[in-house]
Amino acid sequence: MRNTLEQRKAQGLDQLTRLYAHALEGLIENDFDQALQAVDEADPLILQLSKLESDLRAIPGEQPDGLSIKTREVKGLHQQLTSLLEEQLGAVEIERRRMKIAQRVVRGYRRNTQGQQKGRILDGTC
């Protein structure tokens, strides 16, 4: 069980690293929507990592390892990226951009589900 939890935690850290690289790339290129979307996608992953870490600590005789240190570093990086975005854009602008991103996601979802529904009607599978 311990190995499975550590493996999931390592995968989560790798995924967060890719998201933060994407966020930094957006900041460098002044593509704040890209940076904001990457930071927002990282939020649930950080919660999952915290849960995995607490599950690992609950194992009797468990000692903190290198992954615990990396998790703390990732949380610090997340806070720094969020602060940097707030400095560059301001809290109101961040919320406005989040709403625009959410609307694009919803429109894309609707387009995909409508296409699937039309396909079912034509196929006769509905």
What stretches of 29-90 show up as alpha helix (H) in DSSP?
32-58, 66-89
Region 82-105: what's the mean pLDDT? 81
- Could you list the residue range(s) of the whole structural domain that residue 119 is in? 91-126
Q: Is residue 32 located within the same domain as residue 78?
A: yes
pLDDT at residue 98 tops 60: yes
Q: Is residue 82 located within the same domain as residue 103?
A: no
Q: Is residue 62 located within the same domain as residue 114?
A: no
CA distances from 88 to 19, 21, 30, 55, 116 (A): 19, 18, 10, 37, 40
Q: Is residue 6 located within the same domain as residue 38?
A: yes
Q: Is residue 24 located within the same domain as residue 39?
A: yes
How far apart (Å, rounded) are the C-alpha atoms in residues 51 and 48?
Answer: 5
Please report the pLDDT score of residue 114 as a whole number.
65
- Global pTM reads 0.62
